[in-house]
Structure formats: C-alpha cells, structure tokens
Chains A and B, each alone.
Chain A
Amino acid sequence: MQREVGTLPLAPALRARLAAAGFQTAQELLDTGPCGLSKEIGISREEALEALQVVRQECQGDAARTAGESGATRRCTALELLEEEQTQGFIITFCSALDNILGGGVQLTKITEICGAPGVGKTQLCMQLAVDVQIPECFGGVAGEAVFIDTEGSFLVDRVVDIAAACVQHCHLIAEAQQEQDHRKALETFSLENILSHIYYFRCCDYIELLAQVYLLPEFLSEHSKVRLVVIDGIAFPFRHDFEDLSLRTRLLNGLAQQLIIIANDHKSAVVLTNQMTTRIGQSQSTLVPALGESWGHAATVRLIFHWDNSQRLATLYKSPSQKESTIAYHITSHGFRDVQPPAATHSAEGTERNPRKRPRTEEEEH
C-alpha cells in the first residue's frame, strides 16, 4: 500500500496531475475516493473511478506477491524446477544423433535457434518438428499442436504430407511390434488429416506483419491451448532489408525475443527460430556468421548451426546451457530428417534414462 504514485500504470498525463496535486502513495489515492479525487485534480468522476480501479488491481497484485502466493512473478525452488524439467517432454527430431546432443530433443519452454546456409535443411527440420510435436504421448511425444510462422515462403504442404506419412507409418510399426492397447487407441487419432489440421500456418510478408502476429500470439495460444511448438521460419529475412536505422532493428528484435521468451514460458511450448548466415569480412578472410548481429546471439537459449562439409550435412551445437558443444552428421531423406546410419540396437536398454516420456529406442525397421 505504500506504492508510489509514479509507479502505477496510469496514463502519463494523469500521473503528472496527481504528482502536481501532491499525492505520493497509492494508499492516499484510495483513501480520497473518486469524488474527492475528481474535485482535487479536475477530472471527471468516471475517470477518477477508472483510475482507482487500476490502483486497486495493482495493489492486490502486490499484496498477493508479498504474501508469497504465485502471482505475476514465478517463484519456486531449484528442486521444484528439477522435478519439472525431468518430467518435461522433448520434441524429438527423428535423428537420434541430433536428439542426443540436444539432450533428448528440442526442449519445451526454451528458444532454439537454427542457423545455416541456404539449402542445408533448416526448413526441413522445422517441418519435421511441426509433425513430431503431435506424436502421441504413448510413443514418447508431447501430443501437442504447432504454429508455423513463415516469412520466406518455403513451407511446402506436399513435403509435410511426405514427412507426416512417414511418421505415421513409423508409429504403426512400433505399435505392431509392441502390441499395447493405448498404442492402438492413440493411432486412431494420429492420422494424416489430423496432423495437417493441427499445423496453424501464418504467412508474414514483412516485419510489421511478423511483429503484429507475435503480439497476437498469446491470445491465439490461450484459445488453442494444446500448442506446444511455435516455429518462426526466417526471423532474419524481413529484418535484412529496408532498415536504415539499425538501432530500431536491434530494439524490435530484442522486444521480439522477450515476447517469445514469455510465450515459451507461459504456454510451456518450444520456440524454434531459423536464421540466415551472413559474411563477415575480416582482415584477410571472410567467415560465415549467423545474421542479425552479435546482440541477437543472446536471444536464443540453444543455438544450432547447420553447415556443409563437402557433401555431408553437419549440425553443430553452438550454444546450450546444459549440453556440451558437439557436431553430428544428418541426412535428409524422402521421409524427412534422419540419421546418417540407423541407430544401434543397444539403445533400447537405457537404464540411465530418467525421463519416462522418452520413446524407447527400438530397432527401427528401416524405411
């Protein structure tokens, strides 16, 4: 109740008047009442009432926070976080080497950035993830839906159909091998039409549409609460042209990153961004670095860089808070994103696995 008037989320003109009239704390405002307030600072009674309602709402939020309830600030112990992290699902990529270096797959509530030269497979991975997020829980997935925000126009439905068909077939094979009741039940809803209907696609042609869409995302996600993945394919493309004012670009990108972090946490979903590469001209040579500048490097929690080595595609885990830097090779087949060789049979007996949701790695009948 000792909150200062200057910190309340009222209109600036109103705040200025209150300060000029000598009000200092929120309690004083509440004690004065709407009629007294309107007379003292010369506003209408309705406006005074609105202002007092805002003040009351703020003070209630404050009181809840000081009383230790989980209000707007999330407070919990590291032990609670550990338990949460262990039960959290990962979105698998169907390339077990990549899943391994990521620690299980693409993590929920974190922002993962994929950088790479054109044609190396970033959009393929995004389409694969948009299908994999929908894998039912009994097969080790998170049973969620996906939002795909496309700024480059590289989303091809036919390719998603191929990837989804391969995924459904893979799950059928597992179900036949294991013959469990819930597998068969889950497979009834895990069909091609369902997968495609749960990928929500937005095509943003410039950065304003992208900003607008991200502002509207929280509302969309509350309506579609099963969404567990937000993909923004091409975060760099709309920001790389028509920007004379680079400081504005940095500000907009930082704002975007913050909103995405909030979305990832509030709705327990993974956010995947793809970035382009640009050339940095050094003294004697030029190197390929991720686009959008140094400051954008802080936005993502996990950074993957895809690159070529002769004709082999490689993925390097460049930045991660919990896994070490490593490089693996991957393949893009007609079924989607895959390992270079089929995974070994010993994977099925992983006793060190603490995550009960992880799909047991059975011997894959090769497609």
Chain B
Amino acid sequence: MAAKKLRRAQLSQEMCERLSRYQITTCQDFLCLSLLELMKVTGQSYYEVQKLLCKVSRACAPKMQTAYEMKQRKSVNPSSAFLSTTLHSLDRVLRGGVPCGSLTEITSPPGCGKTQFCIMVSVLATLPVSMGGLDGAVIYIDTESAFSAERLVEIAANRFPAYFDSDEKLFCMTSSIHLYRELTCCSVLKRIMSLEEEIISKKVKLIVIDSVASVVRKEFDTKLQGNLAERSNFLTRGASVLKYLAEEFSIPVILTNQITTSLSSGPMIQADLVSPADDLSLSE
C-alpha cells in the first residue's frame, strides 16, 4: 500500500509530474510530509492541500468492516479455522487447535520436542480435510538443520498406517513439504519476503519456521549497543510480513523459540529464571 504510485491515487497528471520533480512519487512520500511542505511542493492553498491529502489517504487506507461482518464470514466456514494437533487435551486448551490466520509460537528448553512437534504438524497439514488436515503443501524453513526426512516418514507411517499404506502416498506427502535451509538472519528475511508467490503457486497451507531464535542469537549480541535496534528491526519486519501472509491466506504459521536465562538485578542464585528469548518483539 505504501509503495502505491500517486498517479494511481487519482491525482491529476500535472500534479503528479510536479510532485515527481521533488522526488515524490509514492503515497508514502506524500503522506510523510507536513502540511506546509505539501503547500510548497504542490503550490496549492491550505484547503486544497487538505483535500489532496484526503484523496491520497483514501487510496491507501484500509477498508472498513464491522465486527458483525467478520463474525458472519467466520461462521460461514467454521471447520477451516483451526488445524487440529490430534492431541486432545492440547486441542481443548487451544479451543480447537493451532489457529489459522495468526502466528503461534512454541517455546521450550532444548530437547523437549519442538522440532518433533513441527514435523508432526507438517504431516497433519498434508492430510485431507476429512481426516482433520488442511490438504495442502507445507513450507518448512529450517535454520538449525534439525529436520530429518526419515523421521518424517517414520512419523507418518506409524501414526496413520491406514492412510499411508502405500509408498505412493508417502511419496506424495513428502513431495508436498518444501524444505528451505537458511542459516543467516538476512537469508531468513529474504525467504520470508518471497513466500507470497510460493504460497499461491504451491497451494501452501502451513508455514513452519524452526527456529527464529537460533539465527538471531547467533548474529546479535544484545550487550552491544547498536545490535538491539537492528535485532528488533529484523524481528518486527519478519513478524509483520508473516502476519500479513497468515491473515491474507488464512493459514497457520508456527514459529519456534528457545529459552534463555533472564538475570535479574539480584544475586546470581536466581539464574534459573527462564523466559523466551525474543519475547518482547516477536510475540506481538
């Protein structure tokens, strides 16, 4: 929305040409200026500039919906709102399962089973809707090289022996799980940015990122002053793109996080306090 060119915002041709002389070509450039600056660059009076602002804003602003319309839309298709994890008590607590359309974060100390959970959920997503799955492909972004294809096949064969009774079915399932190995923050971000087209072309119904914390902790040492801002920048950018993808395509996004110790200002005995690593930025 921000990169929308002004001529698509229905400004007149001469106005667009005039503004482009000041390097103002997108709605973002236009809306970031104050009223006085706008008067100077457009050469219009105060009231005219306000009308122009309203015009450009209308081109960028989101559409209004009432909460009632949202509820109606949801109630039309209730079954697709969750991906059941097949663990009944977990599904009960989550009120149905992993929600579609939002980000879910899984956190634990090492060895508790985050990657195993991700692998299992990937299998579940490829199952047909009648069996509680989403009948779609999976994008699995692996930053720790912990994904094991053999384990994937083992889980599928043992969990659903009736469904995966032939090699062909297993082959079909494994070919719909797309694995990407990204080892730096930069490449993870680039991959996230490029997901939109892949989701449409491959009919993806689940995104798993395992794990965000490992790349962030490798590259950013929070004791150094400048790093906190860059780390927060990377995390919020990634989060906002993932949120957009989750909402736009109504698919679940699963992220895993690691545990770190939060040392309070008291004596070092309190070192067994644990809290998720990037709690402040990512889970918003």
Which A residues lie at the B interface, using CB under 8 A?
A: 9-14, 51, 54, 117-119, 130, 148, 152-154, 157-158, 160-161, 193, 195-209, 211-213, 215-216, 219-220, 234, 237-238, 240-242, 248, 251-252, 255, 276-279, 281, 284-285, 288
Contact = CB atoms under 8 A, between A and B. Distances in A.
B269 interface: no
A206 B67 contact: no
B39 A196 contact: no
A56 to B, nearest CB: 13
B53 interface: yes
B57 A213 contact: yes
Contact of B60 (A118, A154, A208, A255): A208
B39 A11 contact: yes
15 contacts: A9-B46, A152-B284, A153-B102, A153-B246, A154-B284, A195-B67, A201-B66, A205-B62, A209-B62, A215-B31, A216-B61, A242-B237, A252-B32, A284-B265, A285-B265
Contact of A118 (B223, B225, B280): B280
B244 interface: yes
Given A206-B1, A237-B236, A198 B60 contact: no
Contact of B47 (A54, A117, A193, A195): A54
A154 B40 CA distance: 40
B34 A209 contact: no
A266 to B, nearest CB: 15
B74 interface: yes
Contact of B70 (A153, A201, A213, A238): A201
B251 interface: no
Contacts of A276: 280, 284
A333 B43 CA distance: 56
B243 A157 contact: no
Contact of A277 (B53, B61, B102, B280): B280
Contacts of B62: 202-205, 209, 213
A12 B233 contact: no
B280 A209 contact: no
A152 B43 CA distance: 37
Contacts of A158: 71, 74
B121 to A, nearest CB: 21
**6 closest Cβ pairs, A-B complex:** A9-B46, A196-B68, A212-B57, A208-B2, A212-B60, A241-B236
Contacts of A278: 232, 280
Interface in B37-92: 39-40, 43-48, 53-54, 56-68, 70-71, 74
B56 A212 contact: yes
A248 B244 CA distance: 25
B25 interface: no
B197 interface: no
Nearest to B105: A118
A212 B27 contact: yes
Residue in A216, A255, A285 whose Cβ sees the most chain B Cβ within 10 Å: A216
A17 B199 CA distance: 58
A153 B74 CA distance: 15
Contacts of B279: 117-118
Contacts of B244: 205
B68 A240 contact: no
B274 interface: no
Given A204-B62, A241-B237, 14 more contacts: A12-B39, A117-B280, A118-B280, A154-B102, A197-B67, A202-B62, A209-B61, A209-B62, A211-B31, A212-B58, A215-B53, A241-B240, A251-B34, A281-B222
A130 B280 CA distance: 26
Contact of B232 (A203, A240, A284): A240
Given A11-B39, A202-B61, A208-B1, A219 B67 contact: no
B28 interface: yes
Contacts of A118: 279-280, 283-284
A251 B31 CA distance: 12
Nearest to A276: B284
A252 B29 CA distance: 12
Given A202-B61, A216-B58, A285-B265, A255 B34 contact: yes
Interface string B238-267: 001001101100000000000000000100
Residue in B54, B67, B74 whose Cβ sees the most chain A Cβ within 10 Å: B67
A322 B225 CA distance: 38
Contacts of A209: 1-2, 60-62
B146 interface: no
B84 to A, nearest CB: 17
B228 interface: yes
A247 to B, nearest CB: 12
